[in-house]
Amino acid sequence: MQEAIRQEIAVTAARLIAEGGLDYRSARMKAAKQVLGDRSIPRGVVPDDEELEAALREHLDLFDPDHEGRLDRRRRVALEWMRLLEAYQPFVSGAAWRGIAAEHAPVHLQLFHDNPKDVEIDLLNRGVRFEVVVVPGLHDREAEVESLSFLWRGEPVLISLHDSRELRGALKRNDRGRAERGDRWALEALMAQADPDWANRPLAQEVLPRHRAGKMPRFGGHDDE
């Protein structure tokens, strides 16, 4: 019984993430309320991130025919910006890294640099219009980290700005032995694993040489999961 409730909550949360753009934490709580109503939440029925990811992947495979193409586009955008912002120690996290790109999930890059203003000036010099938002910290989810959101080639991008001292702890694997983020070479390896010929396809030829200057429209929201 408990396992069935846990699975139902995971499936409901996956739909909320895919269709409503909720982050994992909010989707989990809202799904639990939808499934259980006014009843208290029993111990052990709330799915963890791994279970949510599995349910989300299944949902996207079933109901989102553009998922594979969207993931490819967002990984290419991530790679492009990791090359452009190489001086700030960029790592990719979130949807592009995990390989589960719901429509509302942005390309999430985490930069480890001691002066956030350097990054803002860099983006402005490239003609990028961004909005300043905040996301939870890497190690303290109650802390707020300044982040920059914008659209690039029609894809939402979120760049969170972290102190360089946080990098060492950020590279530790989670309890399941999985890396939560990866550098440019790790992302390239993932892309080659998914499609050995990815670098020779037309979009790659457009993206890899250099970025296009120009004002970008604002992106008003984000999903940091």
pLDDT tens figures, 180-198: 899 999 999 999 888 877 7
Residue 126 lies in a domain: yes
The reported pLDDT for the residue numbered 202 is: 58
Total number of domains constituting the chain: 2
Rounded Cα–Cα distance for residues 15 and 21 (Å): 9
The reported pLDDT for the residue numbered 138 is: 80
One domain, residues 120 and 175: yes
One domain, residues 55 and 134: no
One domain, residues 72 and 172: yes
One domain, residues 92 and 153: yes
One domain, residues 97 and 55: no
Residue 91 lies in a domain: yes
Distance from first CA to last CA of the chain, Å, rounded?
29
Residue 219 lies in a domain: no
Rounded Cα–Cα distance for residues 150 and 137 (Å): 20
pLDDT tens figures, 116-160: 999 999 999 999 999 999 988 887 777 889 999 999 999 999 999
One domain, residues 16 and 29: yes
One domain, residues 87 and 53: no
The reported pLDDT for the residue numbered 36 is: 87
One domain, residues 161 and 146: yes
One domain, residues 59 and 74: no
Rounded Cα–Cα distance for residues 11 and 56 (Å): 7
One domain, residues 121 and 183: yes
Q: How far, in whole angstroms, is CA 44 from its chain's centroid?
A: 27
Rounded Cα–Cα distance for residues 117 and 9 (Å): 41
Pick the last residue of a domain from 13, 30, 63.
63
Per-residue tokens: 191: 């892309």
The reported pLDDT for the residue numbered 195 is: 81
Residue 225 lies in a domain: no
Residue 170 lies in a domain: yes
Low-confidence ranges of the chain (pLDDT < 70): 201-225
Per-residue tokens: 215: 């004002």
Q: Which helix (H) or strand (E) holds 81?
A: helix 67-84
Residue 43 lies in a domain: yes
For 176-197, the three-class secondary structure string (H helix, E strand, C coil) is CCCCCCECHHHHHHHHHHHCCC
Residue 105 lies in a domain: yes
One domain, residues 156 and 182: yes
Per-residue tokens: 188: 């390239």
One domain, residues 53 and 143: no
CATH number assigned to the domain comprising residue 85? 3.30.460.10
Residue 222 lies in a domain: no
The reported pLDDT for the residue numbered 208 is: 40
The reported pLDDT for the residue numbered 165 is: 86
The reported pLDDT for the residue numbered 80 is: 94
N residues, the chain: 225
Give the range of the structural domain holding residue 23, as residue numbers without chain letter. 2-63
Angle at 201 between CA 198 and CA 207, to 5 degrees: 90
